[in-house]
Amino acid sequence: MSRISFRHKGDFSKTEKFFNALLKMEYLNVLERYGKAGVSALAAATPKDSGETASAWNYEITHNRKETSIVFTNSNVQDGVNIAIILQYGHGTRNGGYVAGRDYINPAIQPIFDKMANEVWKEVTSL
């Protein structure tokens, strides 16, 4: 008959601290801050004619047991068309022409995502 044994030195305090922070949802404070920063960056980068699309940016944070998401939204919809989307990707005109899109969303939001990822990683690894 063989026996298996092991010794453990130390404690699980860092692991417990990490899980307690997750339970308290303290990480949502980071997402709130970056949500506001993302809205500012998107508003500043949005092509402006009337300014309606630039001022219509917002964000939503959703979370459930498996995931947490931050979603940026734009509420400027005219005739069923989201104006932020057609500015980004382009659109046809009434007389058969085409207006090319301009990639303004990705360059505006990427630095925000990079900063957020770095900060969240530091937060998680420092616990």
Kindly list the domain boundaries of the chain, sorted by start residue: 28-126
Residue by residue, pLDDT tens for the chain (127 residues) are 667 766 666 776 776 776 666 666 666 777 889 999 999 999 999 998 889 999 999 999 988 878 888 999 999 999 999 999 999 999 999 999 999 999 999 999 999 999 988 887 776 677 5
What residues does 61 pair with on adjacent strands? 70
SS3 letters across 14-58: HHHHHHHHHHHCCHHHHHHHHHHHHHHHHHHHCCCCCCCCHHHEE
Q: Given this model, what pLDDT does residue 6 score?
A: 61
